[in-house]
Amino acid sequence: MKLGVRVGSIQPHASPSISQSNPTSPSFKSNISSQFNLRSRNQLKLHSTKCNFPNLRNKWKQYQGINHWEGLLDPLDDNLRWEILRYGHFVDATYSSFDFDPSSLTYAKSLYSKKSLLKKCGLGKYGYRISKYLYVTCGIHMPTCINKIFKKLFTRSSLIGYVAICVNEKEITRLGRRDIVVAFRGTVTCLEWLENLRVFLTQLPGLVKGEDDVGPMVQKGFLSLYTSKTTPHGSLQEMIRKEIGRVIQRYTNEPLSLTLTGHSLGAALAILSAYDITATFNNAPMVTVISFGGPRVGNESFRNQLEQKGIKILRIVNSDDVVTKVPGLFVNFDEVVSDEDVGVGIWSKWFYKYIQNMQLVYVDIGQELRLSSREFPCLNKTDVAMCHDLKTYLHLVKNFVSSSCACKHTKIHSIQS
């Protein structure tokens, strides 16, 4: 019998400098802008015109996880590699198109129109068209006096991602179906950081409890971001339901897939969205989540709900990324106790029940592709921000071979290449 407990809490990389700076000074806005714009300045160079993506027509469900990617992850199948990178580029576009500058009139909105965004971000030849911008609203309300002074820094609603539909006939033929992509960025605004810190689990509304009297629960901050709303935009949940419902109805007579992908906070929102879609639409197509550097989202009962609904989740993890190890408590509880360990077993079960009642017991969700920064000399494994950056994840996926041979090339390419 073993009982292992790991404790984690989110420690936002940006928060120290925020708390130590003078919010009224011009340099503060500059620091925030440069800090949040890190990915925008150092964008991963996309090779959309140089990659010959594989023909998946007859086996697309395999690469969407119908068999939980069995035999494709270790060693990493090259076709799956390119699919992961392709979806990663959609996520990268959410950062590249986001206005990080608090002094800008378009702060927390898109720099580009829906029509031009993918082209501006290097994805013009991917064959997709953006049909809907998605906005997220924080459920935290700041005091009026703070809102007046720091109105933009504490903006409640901001662009979080988009819905894109594959419209190119050649790409539809290559993929074997019409693919719908829902892409989400990670944490950017101050209030989103505060939502991340609301780490206690909360019950999903409208669901009954399981046999162990514990129903599906998810992180309180993530659920708040998904369901909170303001007058101009409505909630992210409402936008997702409306747009996905429209798309399903329009393309109901052809092969269709729904791929939700995100980085960090975006990975958590992708999982919540996937669950909500399958719970809302009985005729939902195959739903797959490609998660980059995602935190833990919910408890074991929530994971069971995802599995029962047939949602396929590929969780891409950098073992040196602290964000994938939080929030809450992660418990490895062996329920099989031998007779000689009965005393220890009783204590362990009591302890497990105790911390479960604290609403902090999380589980990892999905099939895992585990990578590591330490296998690549060009990456600094002690740099917390680099280990978590989406650019790092795409570099690791591009070069990973297998758990016994991590590097694809003898000479590791620079992360900027």
Active site residues: 264, 321, 388
Distances (CA, A) of 104 to 92, 111, 180, 233, 325: 21, 10, 31, 20, 35
How many angstroms separate the CA atoms of 323 and 365, rounded? 14
**Parallel/antiparallel/unpaired status of strands 328-333 and 312-318:** unpaired
Phi, psi dihedrals of residue 178, rounded to the nearest 5°: -85, 125
Q: State the number of CA atoms in the 13 A half-sphere of 117 facing the CB.
A: 28
Handedness of CA 48, 52, 58, 60 (dihedral sign): negative
Q: Are 65 and 312 in contact (CB under 8 A)?
A: yes
Distances (CA, A) of 23 to 38, 158, 316, 359: 20, 20, 36, 35
Q: Which residues of 57-77 are buried (b: 16+ CB within 10 A; e: fewer)?
A: eeebbbbbbeeebeebbeebb
Q: Which residues of 294-328 are buried (b: 16+ CB within 10 A; e: fewer)?
A: bbbbbbbbbbebbeeeebbbbbbbbebbbbbebbb
How many angstroms separate the CA atoms of 116 and 114, rounded? 6
How many angstroms separate the CA atoms of 263 and 187, rounded? 9
Q: Are 301 and 217 in contact (CB under 8 A)?
A: yes
